[in-house]
Amino acid sequence: METVSFTSMADGTAADYALLAKMEHEYVKALPDRLIKAVKELDDSLAGYQVTRYVHSLQSATRAYRDGKDEEYIVAALLHDIGDVLAPHTHSEMVAAILMPYVRPEIVWIVKHHGMFQMHYYAHHYGEDPNVRDRHKDHPWYDACAEFCEKYDQNCFDPNYDALPIEFFEPMVRRVFDGNVKYDYE
């Protein structure tokens, strides 16, 4: 495998950076494969629920699909918990960062805040504030995030729900993460 000539980035040449750009392009093209793998890896994460996080993710995406949501939304529903494995306390923010260049800002905001909004359903059992989401009550996407949690997250732990298989969603993931940055967040 080819490598760059430098050991310090400041010493890199135009040829070195052309090589890295080519390799990065190939790496970005494989992002959908890594994301699908990350969803599948949720199959053995976080015990205690009646379904795995993998099944939860399939249920979330299936419900969004069956409600007629667009592909960006459906893919976000599928991926919304992949951060649980590496960032259990900040998984929402982690997944929002992954989605950011590929889905519209409203969906990024929903995913970024869904963890906080989910507390509405359980925080009182831990002696915490179930209305912590209300700090965003005046945000234009507050209702959209509340809807996501109500329809596509909190209710997706049903072992009897007939979720679509991951193979159904793979083409959508590939279209959304086609390597082209669609949204500029600067």
Residue 186 has pLDDT above 80, yes or no: no
Model confidence at 180, pLDDT cuts 50, 70, 90, reads confident
How many domains does the structure of the chain reveal?
1
186 within a domain of the structure (yes/no): no
- Average pLDDT, rounded, for the chain: 95
CB count within 10 Å of CB 3 equals 9
Residue 16 has pLDDT above 90, yes or no: yes
Mean pLDDT of the region 94-115 = 97
Residue 168 has pLDDT above 90, yes or no: yes
Give the span between the Cα atoms of 86 and 185, in whole angstroms: 24
Q: Which residue range is the domain that position 129 belongs to?
A: 13-176
**Residue carrying structure tokens 């083409």:** 171
Mean pLDDT of the region 149-160 = 97
103 within a domain of the structure (yes/no): yes
5 within a domain of the structure (yes/no): no
8 within a domain of the structure (yes/no): no
* Of the candidates 112, 104, 77, the residue with the CA atom closest to the CA atom of residue 185: 104
159 within a domain of the structure (yes/no): yes
Among 21-35, 37-51, 52-66, the minimum mean pLDDT is found in: 37-51
Model confidence at 45, pLDDT cuts 50, 70, 90, reads low
Residue 162 has pLDDT above 70, yes or no: yes
38 within a domain of the structure (yes/no): yes
Mean pLDDT of the region 75-83 = 97
Q: How far is CA 132 from CA 20, 136, 145, 151, 154, in A?
A: 44, 8, 13, 19, 16
2 within a domain of the structure (yes/no): no
Model confidence at 1, pLDDT cuts 50, 70, 90, reads confident
Looking at residue 183, the DSSP 8-state letter turns out to be -
Give the span between the Cα atoms of 96 and 87, in whole angstroms: 12
CATH of the domain at 142: 1.10.3210.10
170 within a domain of the structure (yes/no): yes
Query: What integer pLDDT is reported at residue 132 of this predicted model?
Result: 97
Query: What integer pLDDT is reported at residue 179 of this predicted model?
Result: 86
Residue 150 has pLDDT above 70, yes or no: yes
The answer to pTM > 0.85 is yes
Query: What integer pLDDT is reported at residue 27 of this predicted model?
Result: 92
